[in-house]
């Protein structure tokens, strides 16, 4: 990482006088996953197609590994690029195996036997063994997505462009796709640029996030930077989804925390933030939905702790917070962690086992505003205890 | 009014220019096409086999009707003995190439436009580009070559079946002498008639295939609505424009060749 692999400089594109991209500037580091976000219809996919050479841009420059010619027709020395289309774009008259083999059959002089071997190998890696002879119409959406990814990976590309890879998938499969992207990025060592609306799922696998609005990149940074941003439009864009999740979980969300804050400081001594997915890159089967369910179960479990007048807030999909009163004989932090750990052990089959539970306790008096909770890492007084350490 | 005419003319010229470039690029891409013979044979098989039943059926009925009508008309002036050449020449010079072309347009041309249109809508054509495969060479070029084989072949089948149909109605139904019929066919049909008929079918094949492929390939650009309706529009346009083109080109070739 660190070396700019893809450089987009002042790219402009208009369709029939309607400006879609109005000077996009973005760099993507080698080996990273960069997610481009933004409202529908603001030109994210157009930008991806400009990168792939499928759409000619009106002005600006796109350099891939320092070369301006991007695409499959730029010679053998040009960086290899693959594109995972929103609707997979599998060739419907070919079987899954033929689809995956297609780029090798058409663009290399490789022997048939060698191609078959490579396809078989990739099918095993992608866990696609039983669909090799099926046509796209006979496969589920998730399977099609994996076959499309297989077709994108077979040429060992240096850059893969993902155009809304989770469109039309259920939450469980959505998270499987994100997990797959993160996992295969490690295994196959490619750089990824992804367009996605899925917050926060996409953020878990991203190194960098770019927010495109009104034809320009309004924000670029890490997912943590995104959470800390104070741009009101971006905050609304990012957090309305979390708000929905908190509603679904039946818990109070961030906005409630903001409004309750003055009261909390009066009534309680401590605010405990529990983190339940400290390793963002750690893949797990059927990641998201089970995690979400487990999270809710975790909250419910902790809710039962005997603490009079305690209050629980749903901060985002990974964090929840408890405002509690300190008692010398019953340290609340230890209680919370023990409870989470017990739940963890009680349900070893859930994805929760993949995560290290941790929590930080803050003196409410020391926190001037709830936004300080957004900068957890910066608080030197934080008392960090891991659940596993506690158990040991 | 003048401005509207000007805009229409410019749009028309631009469209024809785009169409000409589309054909040139498709032909050029054939030079780099892998497995040329395999792809062309497959296109011949798809286009040829798909249309064979309808060509045989329509050819048969055309010959039967032509035989009956010809017999009734010619018998009025006592010339029914020239029925064989009348049927054969009508089929070989005009009806064979034109009707078989129209049948192929309805059967294979519409299917081609719809198939390529769906591939365009489902981003399969974009996928080909990102993989490094020229979509024109992969999807259009082989079909253009295949049309040059399939159209004359189907025209020949149509002509033969039609002549046999004329024999059935003239000889077997209207009791005309069979030997007279076949001798008249033999005497009436010259090599140049057959040659002109095949020239027409070659021209029809090339133009019809190019139009159908062009309409399908540009579904996203030319249709006012996306998705299935867009494909439906491009298929309709492909059939209508191809049919008009067949008749127009037939007129031009007939006037030039006589």
Query: Are residues A274 and A336 in contact, defined by beta-carbon separation less than 8 angstroms?
Result: yes
From B130, B133, B138, residue closest to A83, measured CB to CB: B130
Per-residue 3-state assignment (H helix, E strand, C coil) for A196-245: CCCCCHHHHHCCEEEEEECCEEEEEECHHHHHHCCCHHHHHHHHHHHHHH
Same domain, A340 and A318: yes
Q: Please answer yes or no on whether B131 and A107 come within 8 Å at the CB atom.
A: yes
Six-digit token pair at A66? 């320092």
Higher pLDDT residue, A386 or A355? A355
Q: What is the mean pLDDT of residues A309-338?
A: 69
d(CA B198, CA B206): 12
Say what the ipTM of the complex is.
0.80
A200 vs A131, which has greater pLDDT?
Answer: A131
Mean pLDDT of A121-131: 82
Query: Is residue A85 less than 8 Å (CB to CB) from chain B?
Result: yes
The answer on pLDDT for A325 being more than 80 is no
Residue B34 at interface with chain A, using a CB cutoff of 8 Å: yes
Q: Is the pLDDT of residue A249 over 70?
A: no
> Quick one: average pLDDT of A315-340?
69
The average pLDDT across B85-106 equals 94
Q: Could you list the residue range(s) of the whole structural domain that residue A147 is in?
A: 4-233
User: Does residue A274 surpass a pLDDT of 90?
Assistant: no
Same domain, residue pair A180 and A254: no
- B132: which chain A residues are within 8 Å (Cβ-Cβ)? 71-73, 103, 106-107
pLDDT reported for residue A349 = 33
Inform me whether the pLDDT recorded for B171 exceeds 50. Answer: yes
Region A233-240 average pLDDT: 70
Asked whether residue A275 falls in the same domain as residue A152, the answer is: no
pLDDT in tens, B127-156: 999 988 899 999 999 999 999 999 999 999
Mean pLDDT of A6-16: 91
> Of the candidates A233, A259, A279, which is a domain's last residue?
A233
- Of the two residues A365 and A48, the one the predictor is more confident about is A48
Predicted confidence at residue A255, as pLDDT, reads: 63
pLDDT grade for A317, boundaries at 50, 70 and 90: low
Question: Sheet of A208-213: strands edge to edge?
Answer: A81-84, A159-163, A191-195, A33-37, A208-213, A216-221
Do A118 and A169 reside in the same domain of the chain? Answer: yes
b/e sequence B9-23, b meaning 16+ C-beta within 10 Å:
eeeeeeeeeebeebb
Average pLDDT of the segment spanning A294-308: 54
What is the rounded CA–CA span in Å between residue A228 and residue A378?
12
Q: Please indicate, yes or no, whether residues A184 and A250 belong to a single structural domain of this protein.
A: no
* pLDDT for res A283: 35
- Would you state the pLDDT for residue B94? 93
Let me know whether A227 and A245 are in one domain. no
Same domain membership, residue A240 and residue A225: no
Mutation choice for A interface testing from B36, B38, B114, B130 by most A CBs within 10 A = B130
Q: Are A322 and A336 in contact (CB under 8 A)?
A: yes
A323 shares its domain with A209: no
- A40 touching chain B per CB within 8 A: no
Among candidates A53, A71, A89 on the partner chain, residue whose Cβ is nearest the Cβ of B127: A89
Same domain, A63 and A99: yes
pLDDT value for A373: 64
Closest partner CB to A102 (pick from B126, B129, B131)? B131
Residues A256 and A351 in one domain: yes
pLDDT at B170 over 90: yes
Q: What is the mean pLDDT of chain A?
A: 73
Residue A379, pLDDT score: 36
Segment B89-101 shows an average pLDDT of 95
**pLDDT on residue A352:** 36
Residue A16 has a pLDDT of: 83
Reported as a single tens digit per residue, the pLDDT across A52-109 is 888 889 999 998 888 776 665 555 666 678 999 988 899 998 999 999 999 999 888 8
Together in a domain, A193 and A248: no
Residue after which a domain boundary falls, among A200, A233, A266: A233
B53 confidence band (pLDDT: 50, 70, 90): very high
* Cβ neighbour number for residue B225 with a 10 Å cutoff: 10
Any CB–CB contact under 8 A between A162 and chain B?
no
Q: Are residues A71 and A158 in the same domain?
A: yes
A103 and B131 within 8 Å at the Cβ level: the answer is yes
Structure confidence at residue A24 (pLDDT): 92
Work out the widest C-alpha separation in chain A, in whole angstroms.
Answer: 75
| The predicted structure's pLDDT at residue A293 | 38
Residue B25 has pLDDT above 70, yes or no: yes
Number of structural domains found in chain A: 2
Tell me the average pLDDT across A162-189.
77
Q: Kindly report the average pLDDT of chain B as a whole number.
A: 92
> Which range is least confidently modeled, A277-281, B40-44, B230-234?
A277-281
Interface mutation vs chain B, best among A56, A64, A72, A86, most B CBs within 10 Å: A72
Q: Mean pLDDT highest for which of A89-98, A221-230, A247-256?
A: A89-98
Token look-up 């005419």 returns B5
B133 at interface of A, judged by CB pairs closer than 8 A = yes
Interface check for B122 against chain A (CB to CB < 8 A): the answer is yes
Q: Tell me: pLDDT of A32 over 70.
A: yes
Report CB contact under 8 Å: A87, B123: yes
């Amino acid at each position: 990482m660190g070396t700019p692999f893809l450089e987009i400089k002042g790219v402009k594109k208009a369709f029939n006088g309607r400006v879609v991209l109005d000077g996009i500037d973005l760099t993507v580091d080698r080996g990273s996953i960069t997610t481009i976000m933004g409202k529908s219809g603001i030109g994210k996919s157009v930008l991806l197609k400009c990168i792939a050479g499928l759409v000619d841009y009106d002005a600006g420059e796109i350099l891939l590994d320092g070369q301006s010619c991007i695409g499959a027709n730029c010679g053998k020395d040009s960086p290899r690029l693959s594109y995972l289309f929103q609707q997979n774009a599998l060739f419907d008259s070919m079987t899954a195996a033929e689809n995956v083999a297609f780029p090798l059959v058409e663009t290399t002089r490789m022997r048939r036997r060698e191609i078959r071997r490579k396809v078989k190998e990739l099918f095993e890696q992608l866990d696609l063994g039983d669909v090799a002879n099926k046509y796209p119409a006979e496969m589920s959406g998730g399977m099609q997505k994996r076959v499309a990814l297989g077709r994108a990976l077979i040429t060992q590309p240096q850059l893969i462009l993902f155009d809304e890879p989770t469109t039309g998938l259920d939450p469980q499969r959505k998270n499987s796709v994100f997990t797959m992207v993160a996992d295969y990025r490690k295994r196959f060592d490619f750089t990824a640029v992804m367009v996605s609306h899925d917050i926060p799922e996409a953020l878990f696998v991203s190194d960098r996030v770019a927010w495109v609005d009104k034809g320009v990149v309004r924000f670029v940074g890490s997912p943590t930077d995104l959470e800390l941003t104070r741009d009101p439009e971006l905050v609304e864009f990012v957090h309305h989804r979390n708000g929905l999740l908190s509603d679904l979980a039946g818990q109070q969300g961030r906005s409630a925390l903001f409004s309750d804050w003055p009261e909390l400081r009066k009534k309680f001594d401590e605010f405990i933030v529990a983190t339940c997915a400290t390793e963002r890159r750690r893949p797990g089967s059927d990641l998201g939905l089970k995690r979400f369910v487990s999270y809710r179960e975790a909250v419910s479990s902790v809710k039962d702790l005997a603490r009079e007048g305690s209050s629980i807030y749903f901060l985002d999909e990974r964090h929840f917070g408890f405002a509690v009163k300190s008692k010398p004989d019953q340290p609340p932090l230890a209680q919370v962690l023990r409870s989470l750990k017990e739940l963890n052990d009680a349900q070893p089959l859930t994805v929760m086992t993949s995560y290290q539970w941790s929590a930080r306790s803050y003196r409410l008096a020391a926190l001037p505003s709830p936004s300080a909770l957004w900068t957890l890492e910066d608080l030197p007084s934080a008392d960090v205890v891991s659940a596993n350490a506690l158990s040991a | 009014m003048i401005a509207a005419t000007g805009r229409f003319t410019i749009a028309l010229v631009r469209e024809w220019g785009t169409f000409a470039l589309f054909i040139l690029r498709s032909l050029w891409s054939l030079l780099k096409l892998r497995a040329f013979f395999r792809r062309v044979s497959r296109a011949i098989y798809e286009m040829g086999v798909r249309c064979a039943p309808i060509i045989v059926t329509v050819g048969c009925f055309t010959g039967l009707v032509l035989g009956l009508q010809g017999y009734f008309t010619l018998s009025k002036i006592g010339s029914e003995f020239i029925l064989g050449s009348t049927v054969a020449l009508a089929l070989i010079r005009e009806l064979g190439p034109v009707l078989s072309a129209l049948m192929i347009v309805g059967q294979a041309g519409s299917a081609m436009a719809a198939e390529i249109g769906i591939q365009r809508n489902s981003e399969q054509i974009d996928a080909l580009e990102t993989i490094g495969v020229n979509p024109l060479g992969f999807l259009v070029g082989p079909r253009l070559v295949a049309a040059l084989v399939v159209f004359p072949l189907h025209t020949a089948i149509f002509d033969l079946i039609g002549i046999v149909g004329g024999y059935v109605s003239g000889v077997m139904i209207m009791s005309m002498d069979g030997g007279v019929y076949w001798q008249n066919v033999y005497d009436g049909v010259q090599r140049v008639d057959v040659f002109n008929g095949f020239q027409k079918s070659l021209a029809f094949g090339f133009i019809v295939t190019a139009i159908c492929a062009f309409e399908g390939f540009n579904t996203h650009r030319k249709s006012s609505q996306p998705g299935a309706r867009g494909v439906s529009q491009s298929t309709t346009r492909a059939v209508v424009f191809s049919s008009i083109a067949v008749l127009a080109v037939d007129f031009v070739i007939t006037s030039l060749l006589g």
